[in-house]
Amino acid sequence: MKQKTVFCCTECGNETLKWSGRCPVCGAWDSFKEVKLEKSGGKTAAVRSAKVPKLISELDNEEELRFSTGIGELDRVLGGGAVKGSIVLVGGAPGIGKSTLLLQLCGLVDEGQKILYVSGEESERQIKMRAQRLGVDGGKIYVLAETGLNEVLSAAERLEPDLVIIDSIQTMFDADVSSAPGSISQVRECTMAIMRQTKDRGYTTFVVGHINKEGSIAGPKVLEHMVDCVLYFEGERSTSFRILRAGKNRFGSTNEIGVFEMADNGLKELQNPSEILLSGRPDAAPGTCVTCVIEGSRPILAEIQALVAPSAYNSGRRSSNGIDYNRATLLLAVLEKRGGMALSGCDAYINVIGGLELDEPSADLATVLAIASSFRDKPLGADLAAVGEVGLSGEVRSINSLNMRLTEISRLGFKRCVIPAHIKDDIKAPQGLELIAVKDIREAIRQTLG
Ligand code: TYD
Ligand code: MG
């Protein structure tokens, strides 16, 4: 048997026949790894392609079959529940809570579902102990501590489950592939085989993937191309917050997030993340301002902090966490030029609390106010929030969904909110919330910091 090898870029999944030092597609250096194409894989693929094409008008047009995972926040990120016949990759750093999430899912999903929980990382006893601690019992949960791909596939074939969980893909091992578990060829062949069986049998598979230091799922990016959904489980290990985000979703949008808190007895869903995100907020500290962003369909309040201090160097250092670095430096420049603050000789650090990433321009105004407040060393007051986009001339521009944001801001007890002056007529201030309409950042600073 003649074995064929190709070279596969670990960054983008590009395949070539010849090795090269730099990937011509994504530009990554030293990213090509040799991958052996197993003969058996090729043959199966050829047989599969012998399927007869069908007319699109003759295909069943019923919606994909969805079911609830029993975890509302997970359903939300998946686009309204899990889809039968789909494969979902759950990525995240070690210890973030991937195994916990999926084991809890086993206990919460509808009792009638037959589940196969495969773990290559823990023994059956360890899984049992963890399940007990999480209060997962009963139901039709079958546990298999196994790393052999063929054993896993045949167990799934015999059991005919509705749901399969593989924890993790990096521990799975296909005996036909000569390289070590976790290598590109292994991860790729195993995912391919699991995916094929998932689609054929119509069950749903959740696969855990560890994330490497660059933040992508260890092994090749190819993995992300193959599966239907990629969910990232994020958060700082030092805080109890966890955010579930879709990086790819064939069956729904990718802008919904799910928010959890890691407690002693597992993950808790946070339906009202704003409250927790704002808890522990200093009352009268300078350099903090709250804003409201829309994540998917949900308004979430976020606290932006800024620390501005005279720099020891000629040009100040800038760092930004949770807000795009370029956006942050742009806002600092606008504030310097249009707000008359001498920031270039200052170091400026900007941080969003709770590990949130704000990518909406509506957070601009609150960022500017937090910086100005730190620069003047004067608090804005704990009852103030701000929403609005800031333009290059320092003008404050209107944003969408203002009513929804104001309602959330008012619900959390804020008394004053800075908003753009040019807004549509249908904007109504919720009771007890004073609106401060401003045309530009100078006016915003004058009205809030005097
Ligand atoms: P785990 O689900 O094992 O992470 P992963 O599978 O992503 O590697 O989560 C392990 C961490 O979560 C560990 O640091 C302990 C913590 N944890 C709790 O705080 N409470 C719990 O109930 C459980 C099960 C874990
Ligand atoms: Mg784990």
Q: Which ligand is nearest to the CA of 170?
A: 2
The CA 97 to ligand 1 mean position distance, Å, reads 5
User: What's the chain's average pLDDT?
Assistant: 87
Q: What is the pTM of this model?
A: 0.76
pLDDT digits (tens, 9 = 90+) for 341-397: 999 899 999 999 877 888 899 999 999 999 999 999 999 999 999 999 999 999 999
Residue with the larger pLDDT of the pair 26 and 268: 268
372/365 Cα distance (integer angstroms): 10
The one-character DSSP state at 57 is: G
Of 227-231, 420-424, 435-439, give the lowest mean pLDDT range. Answer: 420-424
Distances (CA, A) of 424 to 221, 405, 421, 435, 441: 45, 14, 9, 14, 20
Q: Is 106 exposed, middle or buried (0-12, 13-18, 19+ CB in 10 A)?
A: buried
Residue 399: band (very low, low, confident or very high) from pLDDT cuts 50, 70, 90: very high
Output 399-402 pairs: Cβ under 8 A, ≥24 positions apart: 399/360, 399/361, 399/362, 400/294, 400/362, 401/294, 401/299, 402/427
Q: Which ligand is nearest to the CA of 211?
A: 1
Q: What is the pLDDT of residue 64?
A: 65
- Reply yes or no on whether the pLDDT at 2 is more than 90: no
**Average pLDDT over every residue of 185-198:** 91
Atom of ligand 1 nearest to the CA of 208: 6
Going by alpha carbons, the residue nearest to atom 9 of ligand 1 is 97
- Reply yes or no on whether the pLDDT at 11 is more than 80: no
**Average pLDDT over every residue of 322-341:** 95
Ligand 1 binding residues, C-beta < 6 A = 92, 94-100, 130, 133-134, 262, 264-266
Six token digits for residue 121? 């990382």
Q: What is the pLDDT of residue 186?
A: 86
Mutate to test the pocket of ligand 1, among 100, 170, 208, 239 (most ligand atoms within 8 A of CB): 100
